Structure 1
């Protein structure tokens, strides 16, 4: 196979094809942002309903843990690759719309569950639906903006992570208050009587069924960055590249992809560890109520972390405009070092008030990598493969980040330090370890990324 030719078919996809109008491109980003916010609310809201679910369904902490992580993450990660393949071959708007409807319907079904098995199946369905969003979104955004503007576009889309997580945490205080009364129920039309935690799932999930209407004003971006690929017989694959060829391409450039995937997975591991355990660490260290900590972290996440994501994108665009070809990787490296310096010391402040300031300071760089990581992948991957490779990226990042991060902190605390009150040291160890490994891998990755950017200049 001739895998890298200098030109695709110039008559079908002109090299000088103009990008969409600015308003049209930013409306696309706005719609995808709204979807991402709702996806994170539906993903995280279960963590706020642990006690009432345990009480009403008579389940254990282990079963709740499976609902929070395994049931969602397993299907989210494994279904991402085949769905990403569809997004590389079919209309991406349709893939996203189907995903939004699927996860919103299954999130609503969480509120109809009468036992653990039903709730587990519904959570798995949420994971399958959400797997359709980001790979297709990354591909569309890359096609809608020139490279010097992609940093801002990817940052705005990925603000959905911080906004969704922050809203879920803020709403959490109200939710916990609403469902704390044992036996409290609501009566809904057609559905009849439901418990308070079921009501929360329904009112946060059902509105998502109308979200795809926003796509009526979105045009499918013209695919660009197509690389001419031929079979052994000389047949042009066009847009529909066999999965075996996708894997050959990834393996050919395996050093770059492996360094990038693992580096960003380390940052994700730190992110999920801090997200899962910082409220508990602050509560135990300073003796404040978890609900009070939740409000502080929720507000900080919405405003400070979101600002940091946007600034990371602007910094990337600034460097790209000045000819720095490895700008997204350099931004990720800077974020890893800044997170190492700020997030490792937060629970060691002399007072709770100073710890709150430290939380806000640490939040500024904390989420910046969530935009730069996938953007870098899409910039150096041919269009025919972007959603599939993005799915592989998300598979690695979520499997390590979501699967290892939250469990690693209590493991260190319980089995190595053997003292639950020393959990702040366990969190610090994970932060230092994860960010240090990420920084080292990103430094090694930079020349490889520059090579891939140079090669992509010949695609159309």
Structure 2
């Protein structure tokens, strides 16, 4: 049940609101630790359960990404109608429990089933959080706030590489899965008592929107806007780059430089990316205040284009250390868009559509970025680009095309933003 509107208004941008933001970011970190840990532990799991490379890919990517992408849309709709707090806490409990019991897995079927439920439960998180944070903070703070939340992606991946990997090396993969699953169960209890549901659209004085619109009507309303379509496409290109480098950094360091031992160190650059995401969000809000709200898209262009020189130098570096550092710095730039992408979308839809819009956004970037990016780039490596630096050539082609095409989409989105933004 939501708090009375007058009492809820006092919470907007208050110290309590920032406390909730911190807790939600911690939950997001937990989700990405649990999501990424399978990739970190894959070699040990593969050896013990006698899995093929295809089965490892099925366990890590397909069993999670497809169900995550598909379920994000109905989960978004549910979050627009029912309690966002309940969806967040319930999702956290389920994916933490599934990760914990994965440590007892004796077969591929067991692990895939657990990953299936991790995907369903994690799909409930961000759509509900996007909607809730839009009510907890003022509109002019959203890029900053959403970027702090999005930083949890990279902190979580970094923890999975550094923490989960270390536990697995000291003990085994089963202990690592149990260790990363347990904290979420305790965080869920804290979240239940700390997070409060707020009235939707509380920052609007006049809430003139239809709360009974059908699912189809809401989706149609969202997608008919050119700015939204350019937004989805542009940030999908950036997600294409982000998921691809995450999937192939190991191949670059191992196949080109024979330095597989450096792969876990990539986790430090994931942690640094969390800082760049927050800085980018702050810069986006500053640009909006100094010039125009549509200038938030500029930071997407920065992410897509400024990373290219670093990727080029890193991918074709002669030493493994130089490759790790330069590619890591490039990723710090190219992945800085995450919080801005989610924040901009909130300005383009009505309050009772925010969670569903977030679900649509996550569906698009998951399908294009996670589902298409790595397989397509892998195909380029296998069939088009060969030789010692074949992987580098394929990756550079993909990153260049995505950076340029994404920036064009952001430029087009800026042209239509003013006509299609919702009053807030």
Aligned to 1:249, which of 196, 202, 221?
Answer: 221
* Structure 1 residue 131: Cα displacement: 0.4
Contact kept, 8 Å, 2:41 with 2:165, in 1: the verdict is no
Contact kept, 8 Å, 1:84 with 1:391, in 2: the verdict is yes
Partner of 1:8: none
Contact kept, 8 Å, 1:48 with 1:175, in 2: the verdict is no
Partner of 2:183: 207
Partner of 2:134: 142
Partner of 1:221: 198
Aligned partners of 1:282, 1:145: CA distance in 2, in Å?
42
Matches of residues 294-373 of structure 1 in structure 2 within 5 Å?
Answer: 294-295=264-265, 297-302=266-271, 304-373=272-341
Q: Which moved further from structure 2: 98-107 or 52-61? A: 52-61
Contact kept, 8 Å, 2:281 with 2:340, in 1: the verdict is yes
Partner of 1:275: 246
Matched, 1:116 2:85: no
* Structure 1 residue 401: Cα displacement: 0.5
* Structure 1 residue 439: Cα displacement: 0.9
Matched position secondary structure for 1:326:
helix
* Structure 1 residue 431: Cα displacement: 0.9
Contact kept, 8 Å, 2:80 with 2:354, in 1: the verdict is yes
Contact kept, 8 Å, 2:161 with 2:264, in 1: the verdict is yes
Q: TM-score, normalised by structure 2?
A: 0.92
Aligned partners of 1:395, 1:164: CA distance in 2, in Å?
20
Runs of 5+ in structure 1 lacking a partner? 1-11, 180-195, 230-236
**CA 1:89 to 1:372, structure 2 compared with 1: closer, same or farther past 3 Å?**
same
Contact kept, 8 Å, 1:263 with 1:438, in 2: the verdict is yes
Contact kept, 8 Å, 1:227 with 1:382, in 2: the verdict is no
Q: Which moved further from structure 2: 158-167 or 315-324? A: 315-324
Q: TM-score, normalised by structure 1?
A: 0.85
Aligned partners of 1:256, 1:264: CA distance in 2, in Å?
12
Aligned to 1:292, which of 250, 255, 262?
Answer: 262
Aligned partners of 1:420, 1:410: CA distance in 2, in Å?
15
Any idea what the Cα deviations from partners look like across 1:282-326, whole Å, max 9, x if unmatched? 3333332x222321x111221x21221111011012112224111
Matched position secondary structure for 1:85:
helix
* Structure 1 residue 80: Cα displacement: 1.0
Contact kept, 8 Å, 1:173 with 1:294, in 2: the verdict is yes
Any idea what the Cα deviations from partners look like across 1:89-140, whole Å, max 9, x if unmatched? 1121111001101111111221222211111110000001100111111111
Aligned to 1:36, which of 28, 40, 43?
Answer: 28
Contact kept, 8 Å, 1:173 with 1:291, in 2: the verdict is no
Matched, 1:76 2:68: yes
**CA 1:59 to 1:248, structure 2 compared with 1: closer, same or farther past 3 Å?**
same
Matched position secondary structure for 2:307:
helix
* Structure 1 residue 381: Cα displacement: 0.9
Aligned partners of 2:53, 2:329: CA distance in 1, in Å?
33
Q: Which moved further from structure 2: 244-253 or 68-77? A: 244-253
Contact kept, 8 Å, 2:295 with 2:414, in 1: the verdict is no
Contact kept, 8 Å, 1:27 with 1:218, in 2: the verdict is no
Aligned partners of 2:36, 2:90: CA distance in 1, in Å?
21
Matched position secondary structure for 1:20:
coil
**CA 1:274 to 1:240, structure 2 compared with 1: closer, same or farther past 3 Å?**
same
Aligned partners of 2:273, 2:40: CA distance in 1, in Å?
21
Partner of 1:86: 78
* Structure 1 residue 19: Cα displacement: 5.3
Q: How many positions carry a matched residue from both structures? A: 416
Partner of 1:391: 359
* Structure 1 residue 414: Cα displacement: 0.9
